[in-house]
Structure 1
Amino acid sequence: MTKGLARKRQDDFVANTSLHRSGNPYEVAYVVQWLASPGAEFVTGAAILVDGGLGMRR
């Protein structure tokens, strides 16, 4: 997601996340895997953010 951004902008994103690090594709894949599993069969119409807490800091 941040590959095309200048290094300063990438650092700003990381500084504004609660976890203070970039995520990786596996972290998104784990959420998708869970959503596709029977464990999530009662989940409907939900927005699940996988953003390292970026949305919480605003």
Structure 2
Amino acid sequence: MDKTEQQALQVTKEIMVKFIEVGRISPTNFSEHFATIYGEVLRTVVDKRTHAANNQPLASD
């Protein structure tokens, strides 16, 4: 697992904990949501790094 994947995993874990705290996700349905959230976090990080490396503005900029 590379550094980017580790960072995405950590962020995903923090998001999941917060969602559990506020009741949006329960420990029983954790596995239903984890992969989706991790995929989005990882995609966002990779997209931002790709755009930054190419010195291109993001669509949201």
TM-score (norm 1): 0.34
More helix by share: 2
**Higher RCO (CA < 8 A, seq sep 6+):** 1
